[in-house]
A and B are shown apart, each in its own frame.
Chain A
Amino acid sequence: GQNIDQPTEMTATEGAIVQINCTYQTSGFNGLFWYQQHAGEAPTFLSYNVLDGLEEKGRFSSFLSRSKGYSYLLLKELQMKDSASYLCAVVSNDYKLSFGAGTTVTVRA
């Protein structure tokens, strides 16, 4: 089976930086997604990495190391609206998408 691990909860202060780590052990690899889900709302697409390195998109960046089976999502200049659950998901060899349990980020004033 697929195994995707991420921390359950993280807390940070408004204006700070938070890094959410995701490690995976899957049957092959065809890309990694990060989604954001606010309470009671649909998960929304944040980023997609298939090659090693850093992808930057505004205040959010996502990093991938395929050799280490590791990714992180970096949230900079945190805002209250960034309080949400962040889901890591990996595409395996058969193009199936497997999700981690999500990391709940709480931003405090």
Chain B
Amino acid sequence: ETGVTQTPRHLVMGMTNKKSLKCEQHLGHNAMYWYKQSAKKPLELMFVYSLEERVENNSVPSRFSPECPNSSHLFLHLHTLQPEDSALYLCASSQTSGSGANVLTFGAGSRLTVL
């Protein structure tokens, strides 16, 4: 248990479905992140929220829509996905200042399969 909890751990969806991934952190961090991890590829940063404001959006397709209602919760809303979106989606959190700044704490990930 890292202090960052992701649900669901596994998700299978069709291309026309709408689903959401949820992330919750209990570490008192003020920044949260979504990463995509595909086999044999580097982690790809998707979105960053700092103090609940989106500060990074790495040219991610609009079929992925993030939401950060407060500093402890982060969502990734999914709709009309493509099979190539199948991957492990990792949530992370960090402190942006002080000791341990920018050290990411990751959740265990949500394994998404798009049929």
Known: A45-B104, A48-B103, A97-B104. 17 other contacts (CB 8 A): A31-B102, A33-B104, A35-B106, A41-B108, A42-B2, A42-B90, A43-B90, A43-B104, A44-B106, A45-B103, A45-B105, A91-B102, A96-B56, A98-B42, A99-B42, A101-B41, A102-B42
Q: Is the CB of A40 within 8 A of B108?
A: yes
Interface membership of B11, Cβ < 8 A: no
Q: A33 — which chain B residues lie within 8 A by C-beta?
A: 103-104
**Which positions in A face B, CB cutoff 8 Å?**
4, 8, 31, 33, 35, 40-45, 48, 87, 89, 91, 95-102
- Which of A8, A89, A99 is B40 in contact with, Cβ under 8 Å? A8
Q: B66 — which chain A residues lie within 8 A by C-beta?
A: none
Q: B107 — which chain A residues lie within 8 A by C-beta?
A: 42
Chain B stretch 66-115: residues in CB contact (< 8 A) with chain A:
90, 102-109
Interface pairs (6), CB distance under 8 Å: A35-B106, A42-B109, A44-B106, A48-B103, A89-B43, A96-B56
The CA-CA distance from A44 to B56 in the complex, in Å, is 23
The CA-CA distance from A42 to B2 in the complex, in Å, is 8
The CA-CA distance from A95 to B45 in the complex, in Å, is 13
